[in-house]
Protein backbone atom coordinates (compact mmCIF):
# COMPACT_ATOMS: atom_id res chain seq x y z
CA UNK A 1 0.00 0.00 0.00
CA UNK A 2 1.47 3.36 -1.03
CA UNK A 3 1.97 5.83 1.79
CA UNK A 4 -0.02 9.03 1.29
CA UNK A 5 1.56 10.67 4.34
CA UNK A 6 4.98 11.00 5.86
CA UNK A 7 3.61 11.04 9.41
CA UNK A 8 0.38 9.76 10.92
CA UNK A 9 -0.36 11.10 14.39
CA UNK A 10 -2.83 8.99 16.34
CA UNK A 11 -4.53 10.99 19.06
CA UNK A 12 -5.81 14.56 19.19
CA UNK A 13 -4.75 15.65 22.65
CA UNK A 14 -2.05 18.18 23.49
CA UNK A 15 0.94 15.99 22.61
CA UNK A 16 -0.69 14.81 19.37
CA UNK A 17 -1.39 18.32 18.15
CA UNK A 18 2.09 19.54 19.08
CA UNK A 19 3.63 16.56 17.25
CA UNK A 20 1.53 17.30 14.16
CA UNK A 21 2.48 20.98 14.33
CA UNK A 22 6.21 20.32 14.59
CA UNK A 23 6.20 17.68 11.83
CA UNK A 24 4.25 20.05 9.57
CA UNK A 25 6.71 22.85 10.29
CA UNK A 26 9.45 20.52 9.04
CA UNK A 27 7.58 20.12 5.75
CA UNK A 28 6.15 16.67 6.38
CA UNK A 29 2.83 15.49 4.98
CA UNK A 30 0.86 14.90 8.18
CA UNK A 31 -2.39 13.13 8.97
CA UNK A 32 -3.85 13.68 12.43
CA UNK A 33 -6.45 11.12 13.51
CA UNK A 34 -8.54 12.26 16.45
CA UNK A 35 -11.33 10.77 18.50
CA UNK A 36 -12.91 13.68 20.35
CA UNK A 37 -11.18 16.59 22.06
CA UNK A 38 -8.64 14.54 23.96
CA UNK A 39 -7.38 16.15 27.14
CA UNK A 40 -8.15 19.74 26.12
CA UNK A 41 -11.38 20.17 28.14
CA UNK A 42 -9.38 19.29 31.26
CA UNK A 43 -6.34 21.53 30.73
CA UNK A 44 -6.25 24.56 33.07
CA UNK A 45 -4.43 26.69 30.49
CA UNK A 46 -1.04 27.03 32.15
CA UNK A 47 1.83 24.68 31.29
CA UNK A 48 3.43 22.61 34.04
CA UNK A 49 6.97 21.31 33.80
CA UNK A 50 7.88 20.32 37.35
CA UNK A 51 5.90 21.78 40.21
CA UNK A 52 6.32 19.31 43.04
CA UNK A 53 9.14 16.97 44.08
CA UNK A 54 7.48 13.76 45.30
CA UNK A 55 10.53 12.65 47.30
CA UNK A 56 10.97 15.88 49.27
CA UNK A 57 9.46 16.97 52.59
CA UNK A 58 8.97 20.51 51.21
CA UNK A 59 7.91 19.56 47.72
CA UNK A 60 7.14 22.89 45.98
CA UNK A 61 9.71 23.54 43.24
CA UNK A 62 10.74 27.02 42.11
CA UNK A 63 13.47 26.00 39.66
CA UNK A 64 11.98 23.15 37.58
CA UNK A 65 15.14 22.29 35.64
CA UNK A 66 17.12 21.96 38.85
CA UNK A 67 14.29 20.01 40.45
CA UNK A 68 14.09 17.59 37.54
CA UNK A 69 17.85 17.08 37.60
CA UNK A 70 17.78 16.23 41.28
CA UNK A 71 14.89 13.81 40.83
CA UNK A 72 16.54 12.06 37.88
CA UNK A 73 19.50 11.08 40.09
CA UNK A 74 17.29 8.57 41.86
CA UNK A 75 14.67 8.06 39.12
CA UNK A 76 16.64 8.06 35.83
CA UNK A 77 13.84 6.39 33.84
CA UNK A 78 11.42 9.28 34.34
CA UNK A 79 10.27 10.73 30.96
CA UNK A 80 12.06 14.03 31.64
CA UNK A 81 15.27 12.04 31.33
CA UNK A 82 14.43 11.68 27.62
CA UNK A 83 13.04 15.19 27.16
CA UNK A 84 15.24 17.72 28.97
CA UNK A 85 17.21 18.21 25.76
CA UNK A 86 14.16 19.78 24.08
CA UNK A 87 12.55 21.50 27.08
CA UNK A 88 13.48 25.07 26.19
CA UNK A 89 12.89 24.84 22.44
CA UNK A 90 9.63 22.92 22.80
CA UNK A 91 8.18 25.52 25.17
CA UNK A 92 9.22 28.33 22.84
CA UNK A 93 7.69 26.48 19.88
CA UNK A 94 4.40 26.07 21.74
CA UNK A 95 4.41 29.71 22.82
CA UNK A 96 5.14 30.88 19.27
CA UNK A 97 2.44 28.73 17.68
CA UNK A 98 -0.22 29.79 20.21
CA UNK A 99 0.87 33.41 20.04
CA UNK A 100 0.49 33.45 16.27
CA UNK A 101 -3.18 32.57 16.83
CA UNK A 102 -3.80 35.28 19.41
CA UNK A 103 -3.26 33.09 22.48
CA UNK A 104 -0.34 34.86 24.14
CA UNK A 105 1.72 33.15 26.83
CA UNK A 106 4.07 34.96 29.14
CA UNK A 107 7.73 34.14 28.28
CA UNK A 108 9.05 31.15 30.20
CA UNK A 109 11.72 32.63 32.47
CA UNK A 110 13.15 29.29 33.53
CA UNK A 111 11.55 29.46 36.97
CA UNK A 112 8.06 28.57 38.05
CA UNK A 113 5.47 31.27 38.55
CA UNK A 114 2.56 30.99 40.98
CA UNK A 115 -0.99 30.80 39.67
CA UNK A 116 -4.28 30.44 41.57
CA UNK A 117 -6.20 27.17 41.57
CA UNK A 118 -10.02 27.10 41.27
CA UNK A 119 -10.04 27.36 45.08
CA UNK A 120 -7.67 30.32 45.23
CA UNK A 121 -4.62 28.46 46.51
CA UNK A 122 -1.35 29.36 44.79
CA UNK A 123 0.38 26.58 42.88
CA UNK A 124 3.49 26.51 40.67
CA UNK A 125 3.39 26.53 36.86
CA UNK A 126 6.07 27.03 34.20
CA UNK A 127 4.15 29.49 32.04
CA UNK A 128 0.60 30.72 31.68
CA UNK A 129 -1.53 32.70 29.24
CA UNK A 130 -1.36 36.43 29.85
CA UNK A 131 -5.04 36.38 30.79
CA UNK A 132 -4.30 33.95 33.65
CA UNK A 133 -1.20 35.55 35.08
CA UNK A 134 -0.70 39.15 36.17
CA UNK A 135 2.80 39.62 37.63
CA UNK A 136 2.50 40.47 41.30
CA UNK A 137 -1.09 39.27 41.57
CA UNK A 138 -0.34 37.46 44.82
CA UNK A 139 0.87 40.73 46.37
CA UNK A 140 -2.21 42.78 45.42
CA UNK A 141 -3.75 44.32 48.55
CA UNK A 142 -7.27 45.11 47.35
CA UNK A 143 -8.74 42.18 45.43
CA UNK A 144 -12.22 41.71 44.05
CA UNK A 145 -13.34 38.18 43.12
CA UNK A 146 -16.29 38.27 40.73
CA UNK A 147 -18.57 35.31 40.11
CA UNK A 148 -21.42 34.90 37.64
CA UNK A 149 -24.85 33.85 38.88
CA UNK A 150 -25.52 31.73 35.79
CA UNK A 151 -22.28 29.77 36.18
CA UNK A 152 -22.10 27.26 39.04
CA UNK A 153 -18.56 25.90 38.56
CA UNK A 154 -16.75 28.91 40.01
CA UNK A 155 -16.78 29.69 43.72
CA UNK A 156 -15.90 33.31 44.54
CA UNK A 157 -16.00 32.84 48.31
CA UNK A 158 -13.67 29.82 48.19
CA UNK A 159 -11.26 31.69 45.91
CA UNK A 160 -11.33 34.71 48.21
CA UNK A 161 -10.68 32.58 51.29
CA UNK A 162 -7.82 30.79 49.56
CA UNK A 163 -6.18 34.07 48.57
CA UNK A 164 -6.77 35.77 51.91
CA UNK A 165 -5.31 32.78 53.74
CA UNK A 166 -1.85 33.44 52.32
CA UNK A 167 -1.92 37.06 53.57
CA UNK A 168 -4.52 37.64 56.30
CA UNK A 169 -4.15 41.45 56.13
CA UNK A 170 -5.23 41.52 52.50
CA UNK A 171 -8.57 43.13 51.62
CA UNK A 172 -10.37 40.52 49.50
CA UNK A 173 -14.00 41.03 48.58
CA UNK A 174 -16.46 39.01 46.53
CA UNK A 175 -19.25 39.92 44.16
CA UNK A 176 -21.65 37.74 42.20
CA UNK A 177 -23.46 39.35 39.29
CA UNK A 178 -26.12 38.14 36.90
CA UNK A 179 -25.75 38.55 33.16
CA UNK A 180 -29.49 38.28 32.72
CA UNK A 181 -29.32 34.92 30.97
CA UNK A 182 -32.45 32.74 31.07
CA UNK A 183 -30.74 29.69 32.61
CA UNK A 184 -27.59 28.26 34.11
CA UNK A 185 -24.92 27.59 31.50
CA UNK A 186 -21.65 25.69 31.19
CA UNK A 187 -18.30 27.39 30.71
CA UNK A 188 -18.19 26.88 26.95
CA UNK A 189 -21.62 28.40 26.42
CA UNK A 190 -20.83 31.27 28.77
CA UNK A 191 -17.63 32.06 26.84
CA UNK A 192 -19.76 32.46 23.73
CA UNK A 193 -22.17 34.81 25.49
CA UNK A 194 -19.31 36.97 26.76
CA UNK A 195 -18.07 37.47 23.21
CA UNK A 196 -21.23 39.50 22.61
CA UNK A 197 -20.95 43.22 23.23
CA UNK A 198 -24.33 43.46 24.93
CA UNK A 199 -23.49 40.69 27.41
CA UNK A 200 -20.18 42.29 28.34
CA UNK A 201 -21.94 45.62 28.78
CA UNK A 202 -24.23 44.06 31.38
CA UNK A 203 -21.21 42.65 33.20
CA UNK A 204 -19.37 45.97 33.17
CA UNK A 205 -22.35 47.92 34.42
CA UNK A 206 -22.84 45.59 37.37
CA UNK A 207 -19.16 45.40 38.36
CA UNK A 208 -18.01 48.99 37.82
CA UNK A 209 -18.90 50.38 41.25
CA UNK A 210 -17.38 47.46 43.17
CA UNK A 211 -14.23 47.61 41.01
CA UNK A 212 -13.52 51.19 41.96
CA UNK A 213 -10.38 51.37 44.12
CA UNK A 214 -9.50 47.69 43.66
CA UNK A 215 -5.93 46.76 42.65
CA UNK A 216 -6.90 43.42 41.03
CA UNK A 217 -10.07 41.71 39.79
CA UNK A 218 -10.28 37.93 39.56
CA UNK A 219 -12.89 36.33 37.31
CA UNK A 220 -13.56 32.78 36.11
CA UNK A 221 -11.67 31.82 32.95
CA UNK A 222 -14.68 32.07 30.64
CA UNK A 223 -14.22 35.45 28.97
CA UNK A 224 -14.33 34.40 25.34
CA UNK A 225 -13.06 31.47 23.35
CA UNK A 226 -11.54 32.32 19.98
CA UNK A 227 -12.07 36.05 20.59
CA UNK A 228 -10.73 35.91 24.16
CA UNK A 229 -7.93 38.44 23.62
CA UNK A 230 -10.38 41.05 22.33
CA UNK A 231 -12.93 40.32 25.04
CA UNK A 232 -10.46 40.57 27.91
CA UNK A 233 -8.80 43.66 26.53
CA UNK A 234 -12.14 45.48 26.29
CA UNK A 235 -13.16 44.49 29.83
CA UNK A 236 -9.83 45.57 31.35
CA UNK A 237 -9.87 48.85 29.48
CA UNK A 238 -13.40 49.64 30.59
CA UNK A 239 -12.82 48.83 34.27
CA UNK A 240 -9.37 50.40 34.46
CA UNK A 241 -8.19 47.67 36.85
CA UNK A 242 -5.87 44.69 36.19
CA UNK A 243 -8.01 41.64 35.42
CA UNK A 244 -6.94 38.01 35.78
CA UNK A 245 -8.80 34.83 34.92
CA UNK A 246 -8.83 31.92 37.37
CA UNK A 247 -9.04 28.36 36.05
CA UNK A 248 -12.32 26.57 36.66
CA UNK A 249 -13.68 23.06 36.83
CA UNK A 250 -13.96 21.21 33.48
CA UNK A 251 -14.89 21.80 30.76
CA UNK A 252 -12.01 24.25 30.73
CA UNK A 253 -12.26 27.24 28.40
CA UNK A 254 -8.48 27.86 28.53
CA UNK A 255 -7.94 24.26 27.43
CA UNK A 256 -10.34 24.75 24.54
CA UNK A 257 -8.50 27.94 23.59
CA UNK A 258 -5.30 25.89 23.26
CA UNK A 259 -7.17 23.38 21.12
CA UNK A 260 -8.56 26.09 18.84
CA UNK A 261 -5.16 27.76 18.45
CA UNK A 262 -3.30 24.54 17.65
CA UNK A 263 -6.02 23.30 15.31
CA UNK A 264 -6.03 26.53 13.32
CA UNK A 265 -2.25 26.47 13.07
CA UNK A 266 -1.89 22.86 11.90
CA UNK A 267 -4.65 23.19 9.33
CA UNK A 268 -3.04 26.37 7.98
CA UNK A 269 0.12 24.30 7.46
CA UNK A 270 -1.65 21.63 5.44
CA UNK A 271 -2.18 18.99 8.13
CA UNK A 272 -5.14 16.74 7.35
CA UNK A 273 -7.25 16.47 10.51
CA UNK A 274 -9.76 13.62 10.52
CA UNK A 275 -12.08 13.66 13.52
CA UNK A 276 -14.24 11.00 15.20
CA UNK A 277 -11.81 8.25 14.25
CA UNK A 278 -11.16 5.22 16.41
CA UNK A 279 -7.85 3.64 15.40
CA UNK A 280 -8.14 -0.05 16.22
CA UNK A 281 -5.14 -1.84 14.75
CA UNK A 282 -1.89 -1.75 12.81
CA UNK A 283 0.15 -3.84 10.42
CA UNK A 284 3.89 -4.23 10.28
CA UNK A 285 6.72 -4.89 7.85
CA UNK A 286 10.43 -5.52 8.28
CA UNK A 287 10.91 -1.75 8.59
CA UNK A 288 8.49 -1.39 11.49
CA UNK A 289 4.91 -0.19 11.49
CA UNK A 290 3.59 0.07 7.93
CA UNK A 291 0.11 1.39 8.62
CA UNK A 292 -2.89 1.60 10.91
CA UNK A 293 -6.52 0.66 10.52
CA UNK A 294 -9.40 2.80 11.74
CA UNK A 295 -13.16 2.79 11.88
CA UNK A 296 -14.79 5.84 10.32
CA UNK A 297 -18.61 5.98 10.11
CA UNK A 298 -18.80 2.21 10.46
CA UNK A 299 -16.30 1.47 7.68
CA UNK A 300 -12.72 0.30 8.01
CA UNK A 301 -9.99 2.50 6.52
CA UNK A 302 -6.26 1.94 6.21
CA UNK A 303 -3.59 4.61 6.49
CA UNK A 304 0.02 3.97 5.50
CA UNK A 305 2.92 6.26 6.35
CA UNK A 306 6.65 6.38 6.94
CA UNK A 307 6.36 7.26 10.64
CA UNK A 308 3.72 7.13 13.36
CA UNK A 309 3.21 9.09 16.55
CA UNK A 310 1.17 7.23 19.15
CA UNK A 311 -0.53 9.87 21.31
CA UNK A 312 -3.70 8.10 22.39
CA UNK A 313 -3.33 8.83 26.09
CA UNK A 314 -3.80 6.50 29.02
CA UNK A 315 -6.77 4.74 30.59
CA UNK A 316 -9.21 7.65 30.67
CA UNK A 317 -9.02 8.09 26.89
CA UNK A 318 -8.96 4.31 26.23
CA UNK A 319 -5.31 4.53 25.26
CA UNK A 320 -4.91 1.52 27.52
CA UNK A 321 -7.37 -1.10 28.64
CA UNK A 322 -7.31 -3.93 31.17
CA UNK A 323 -7.44 -7.53 30.01
CA UNK A 324 -6.91 -10.41 32.41
CA UNK A 325 -5.63 -8.08 35.08
CA UNK A 326 -2.97 -6.61 32.79
CA UNK A 327 -2.86 -3.29 30.91
CA UNK A 328 -3.00 -3.58 27.11
CA UNK A 329 -2.14 -1.10 24.36
CA UNK A 330 -4.91 -1.71 21.80
CA UNK A 331 -3.58 -0.10 18.59
CA UNK A 332 -0.16 -1.68 18.04
CA UNK A 333 -0.03 -4.23 20.83
CA UNK A 334 3.05 -2.61 22.35
CA UNK A 335 4.23 -3.90 25.74
CA UNK A 336 2.92 -1.89 28.69
CA UNK A 337 5.09 -1.56 31.78
CA UNK A 338 3.80 -1.74 35.34
CA UNK A 339 5.64 -0.08 38.23
CA UNK A 340 8.26 -2.49 39.61
CA UNK A 341 6.41 -2.65 42.93
CA UNK A 342 3.12 -3.44 41.19
CA UNK A 343 -0.24 -1.67 41.44
CA UNK A 344 -1.34 -0.69 44.93
CA UNK A 345 -3.41 2.04 46.54
CA UNK A 346 -6.01 2.38 43.81
CA UNK A 347 -8.81 2.75 46.35
CA UNK A 348 -7.25 5.52 48.44
CA UNK A 349 -7.87 9.28 48.10
CA UNK A 350 -6.79 10.34 44.61
CA UNK A 351 -5.40 13.73 45.64
CA UNK A 352 -3.52 12.62 48.75
CA UNK A 353 -0.20 13.99 47.49
CA UNK A 354 1.37 10.54 47.38
CA UNK A 355 0.32 9.59 43.86
CA UNK A 356 -1.05 6.35 42.51
CA UNK A 357 0.89 3.46 41.05
CA UNK A 358 -1.46 3.05 38.09
CA UNK A 359 -0.63 6.59 36.96
CA UNK A 360 2.91 5.41 36.17
CA UNK A 361 1.75 2.61 33.88
CA UNK A 362 2.92 3.16 30.31
CA UNK A 363 5.26 2.28 27.45
CA UNK A 364 9.01 2.33 27.99
CA UNK A 365 10.97 4.24 25.34
CA UNK A 366 14.54 5.04 24.35
CA UNK A 367 16.01 8.51 23.98
CA UNK A 368 14.25 8.90 20.61
CA UNK A 369 10.85 8.01 22.13
CA UNK A 370 10.80 4.68 20.25
CA UNK A 371 9.01 1.92 22.18
CA UNK A 372 11.28 -0.65 23.79
CA UNK A 373 10.87 -4.20 25.02
CA UNK A 374 11.70 -5.82 28.37
CA UNK A 375 15.44 -5.87 27.65
CA UNK A 376 15.55 -2.33 26.33
CA UNK A 377 15.51 -3.35 22.67
CA UNK A 378 13.77 -0.99 20.24
CA UNK A 379 10.56 -2.53 18.89
CA UNK A 380 9.68 -0.03 16.15
CA UNK A 381 12.09 2.68 15.02
CA UNK A 382 9.36 4.52 13.12
CA UNK A 383 6.91 4.71 16.04
CA UNK A 384 7.16 7.49 18.61
CA UNK A 385 5.38 7.55 21.98
CA UNK A 386 4.17 10.78 23.57
CA UNK A 387 2.30 12.31 26.47
CA UNK A 388 0.58 10.15 29.05
CA UNK A 389 1.42 6.98 27.13
CA UNK A 390 4.94 7.26 28.53
CA UNK A 391 5.77 5.08 31.51
CA UNK A 392 7.18 6.16 34.83
CA UNK A 393 5.54 9.40 35.92
CA UNK A 394 2.55 10.66 37.86
CA UNK A 395 1.51 14.06 36.53
CA UNK A 396 -1.12 14.51 39.24
CA UNK A 397 1.57 14.70 41.92
CA UNK A 398 4.51 16.11 39.97
CA UNK A 399 2.54 18.80 38.12
CA UNK A 400 4.42 17.79 34.98
CA UNK A 401 1.72 16.54 32.59
CA UNK A 402 1.28 19.41 30.14
CA UNK A 403 5.01 20.06 29.98
CA UNK A 404 5.74 16.42 29.17
CA UNK A 405 2.95 16.48 26.58
CA UNK A 406 4.41 19.54 24.84
CA UNK A 407 8.03 18.36 25.03
CA UNK A 408 7.34 14.77 23.93
CA UNK A 409 5.02 15.92 21.13
CA UNK A 410 7.66 18.35 19.92
CA UNK A 411 10.43 15.75 20.03
CA UNK A 412 8.30 13.15 18.25
CA UNK A 413 7.40 15.68 15.56
CA UNK A 414 11.07 16.51 15.26
CA UNK A 415 12.08 12.89 14.69
CA UNK A 416 9.13 11.39 12.81
pLDDT tens digits for 104-140? 998 878 899 999 999 888 899 999 999 999 999 988 9
pLDDT at 349 over 50: no
**Cα gap 369→384, rounded to integer Å:** 5
The DSSP 8-state label assigned to residue 107 in this structure reads P
Q: What is the pLDDT of residues 255-312, one digit of tens each?
A: 999 999 999 999 999 999 999 999 999 999 988 999 999 988 888 999 999 999 999 9
Q: Mean of the pLDDT values across residues 163-169?
A: 73
pLDDT at 56: 59
Contacts of 388 (CB under 8 A, 6+ apart): 15, 39, 313, 314, 319, 362, 395, 401, 404, 405
φ, ψ of residue 130 in degrees (nearest 5): -60, -30
The pLDDT of 154-182, averaged and rounded, is 88
* pLDDT one-digit tens code per residue, 17-43: 999 999 999 999 999 999 989 899 999
What pLDDT does 322 receive? 84
Which residues contact residue 215 at a Cβ distance below 8 angstroms, ignoring those fewer than 6 apart?
140, 141, 142, 143, 241, 242
Mean pLDDT within 204-226? 95
Residue 286 burial (CB count, 10 A):
5
Pairing of strands 5-10, 299-310: parallel
* Bridge partners for 133 per DSSP: none
Confidence of residue 57 (pLDDT cuts 50, 70, 90): low
pLDDT over threshold 50, residue 350: no
Domains and their CATH numbers in the chain: 5-102+257-415 (3.50.50.60), 135-241 (3.40.50)
Residue-level pLDDT at 366: 97
Q: What percent of the chain has pLDDT over 70?
A: 93
pTM of the entire predicted model: 0.93
**Cβ neighbourhood burial of 248 (10 Å; 0-12, 13-18, 19+):** buried
Q: Are 21 and 262 spatial neighbours (Cβ–Cβ below 8 Å)? A: yes
pLDDT at 298: 82
Asked whether the beta carbons of 411 and 369 are under 8 A apart, the reply is: yes
Amino acid sequence: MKAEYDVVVIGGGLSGYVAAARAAERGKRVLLLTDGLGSFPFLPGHIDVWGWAPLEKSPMVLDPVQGIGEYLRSQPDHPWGRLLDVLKESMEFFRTVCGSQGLVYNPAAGRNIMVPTPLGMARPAFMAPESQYVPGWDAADKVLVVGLAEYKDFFPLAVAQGIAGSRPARDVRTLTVSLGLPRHVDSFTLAGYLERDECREVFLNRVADAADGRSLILVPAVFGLEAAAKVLSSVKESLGVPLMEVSTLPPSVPGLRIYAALRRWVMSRGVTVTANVRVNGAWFSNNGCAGVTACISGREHKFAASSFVLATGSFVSSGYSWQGGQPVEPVMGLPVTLPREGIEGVDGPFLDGKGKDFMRVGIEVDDNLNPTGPSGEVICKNVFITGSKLAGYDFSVEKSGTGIAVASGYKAGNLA
